[in-house]
Structure 1
Amino acid sequence: MDSLNLPPKYREMKSFWIYYSGEEVAPVPTIFIGGNHEASNYLWELYYGGWAAPNIYFLGFAGFVKFGKIRIGGLSGIYNAHNYCLGDHERSPYNENTIRSVYHVREYDAYKLMHLEELIDIFLSHDWPFGIADYANCNNLFATKKHFKDEIQQGTLGCKPAAQLLEKLKPSYCFSAQLHCKFTAVVEHEEGG
């Protein structure tokens, strides 16, 4: 629990242990990426990806898999310009600073995905791609998340590497969760397509 970047009052076992222990198996194959409230020390053990539990696969800090005919790529973590160009220097047990920086997106992780030669069907990123608000009507978004308007105007909302990957990999679908609200945008990768 000490590796979770959460206030202590939220550090409690929920249901994942049932799957992690193998007591139960996820009812459908599940593929996930990391965010900013995961147990970073456990995810670090699967840096390149792997089975976190039976039927639950972690894509790693940057990963790609084929599931049947579906190509899925993902970038774990959140963007922080200060740590983006740094190597991974965090080691467990984490201190007040490294418990946050351990899940920051790193340049070489994004770089690995930029070298995929084939396009992907689904792209997962914890952070929203930078500039995604330019591709949608934001009125509903601003009605529930008023502070996003300032962040969009200041150019601080979103992850620049995720936007670069969205442009390069041209996925049919992109899913991001960091901002905890439903928001739909349509990005045309090329005119009419």
Structure 2
Amino acid sequence: MASSSESFCFAAVGDVHGRMNRMVSFLQSWSKRARRDLAFVLQVGDFEPHRDEADLATMSAPARHKHLGDFADYHQKRRHFPWPVYFIGGNHEPHGYLDTHPRGFQLTENCHYLGRVGVIDLRGLCVMGVSGIHDEASFQKPHPPLSLLGTISNKAFTYFHEEDIERAMSFGRADVLVVHDWPSGIIADEDREVLAQQRRSPDADAVGNEYARLLAEALHPKLVLCGHLHKSYRGALIHASGADSQVCCLASVEQGPEAFAVFQVSPLGIQEITHLGTQESP
């Protein structure tokens, strides 16, 4: 992390699922209440930036969960994001749109997709994003070409692949790592019973994936951000060097404050100043 006397705050947001208005409203309310400005927002996937029904048709999801959402208003500039938003892809995204720019792009003012793998410097903070979820059967295969969209399952476009992990590891370091699914092995013994039978995870050992953990162990980020399970949790990965990576798992925006966290960056490091939507301590 670049040394600087500058201190600033940024927000992390869990799965949005097209509810951009709710995300913006919550963060604006927090900023006004806390009298703090946000430098930028990092979002952990399942953002769902659907411009229209054609985009929505390229998302992998049951029909009952396919909703156009709020993004069209931002794309058509009827509304705007008050701060730069940087997001990765989850397993519910319009890949017919996002995969036209797999290295990332600006969708509209203050809204940036980090790509399948993306690294960006934000005020001296090195932020890496890796899109997608793990599927062992697909992992060593190449990404399907966009030309196959509509002839194969949309789900085939939702996975990260070996080439993505290798590319991410080649960067060598990151201050913040943004992934969709949790790193495996972060659940403390005392939390195992509470985390059992969570969404998509029959037991605590099944939570997360080994490649998100591998990236954290290789890159030694100060902070790992993730979502996917619609569950708020805080954990840590202790590295062989004795350093640690704090892990912030966020719920979905529709669940309320547990989908949000705010961090302060200072010469002392990265510190969470809100938890479960509460204001920072005086």
Matching residue of 1:140:
194
Instruction: Select which of 99, 105, 117 maps to 1:50.
Output: 105
User: Is 2:220 the counterpart of 1:191?
Assistant: no
Cα deviation for residue 34 of structure 1 reads 0.3
Please provide the CA RMSD for this pair.
2.3
User: For the structure 1 residues 146 and 120, does the alpha-carbon distance in structure 2 shift closer, same or farther, using more than 3 Å as the test?
Assistant: closer
Identity %: 24
> What is the distance in 2 between the residues matched to 1:147 and 1:110?
22
Native 8 Å contact 1:73 1:122 kept in 2 = yes
Shift in alpha-carbon separation, 1:158–1:89, aligned structure 2, 3 A: same
> Are 2:183 and 1:129 aligned?
yes
C-alpha deviation, 1:67, in angstroms: 0.8
In 2: Cα distance, 1:173 partner to 1:97 partner: 36
Q: Are the aligned partners of 2:200 and 2:229 in contact in 1 as well (CA < 8 Å)?
A: no
Change (3 A) 1:132 1:23: same
Question: How big is each residue's C-alpha offset from its partner over 1:25-78, in whole Å with a ceiling of 9 and x where there is no partner?
Answer: 211111110011111111101200111221011110011100111110011000
C-alpha offsets along residues 84-122 of structure 1, whole Å, 9 cap, x if unaligned?
Answer: 1101224356348530011111111111110113x2121
Q: Does 1:182 align with 2:257?
A: no
CA shift at 1:136, angstroms? Answer: 7.1
Is this contact kept in 1: 2:58–2:95, CA < 8 A?
yes
Compute the TM-score of the two structures, normalised by the length of structure 2: 0.61
Instruction: Give unpaired runs (5+ residues) of structure 1.
Output: none
Unaligned runs of 5+ in 2: 1-55, 245-282
**Runs of 4+ with >4 A deviation:** none
Give me the whole-angstrom Cα distance separating, in 1, the residues matched to 2:228 and 2:176: 17
Q: TM-score, normalised by structure 1?
A: 0.87
Rounded Cα–Cα distance in structure 1 between residues aligned with 2:219 and 2:178: 12
Check if 1:21 corresponds to 2:76.
Answer: yes
Secondary structure of residue in 1 paired with 2:112: strand
The structure-2 alpha-carbon separation of the partners of 1:96 and 1:180, relative to structure 1 and needing over 3 Å to count, comes to farther
Q: Say whether 1:33 aligns with 2:88.
A: yes
- Counterparts of residues 2-21 of structure 1 (less than 5 Å): 2-21=57-76
CA gap of 1:135–1:17, structure 2 versus 1, over 3 A, is farther
Q: Distance in 1 between matches of 2:228 and 2:84?
A: 22
Q: 1:112 aligns with which of 138, 142, 167?
A: 167
Contact preservation (8 Å) 1:129, 1:162 = yes
Structure with the larger strand share: 2
- The number of residues matched between the two structures is 188
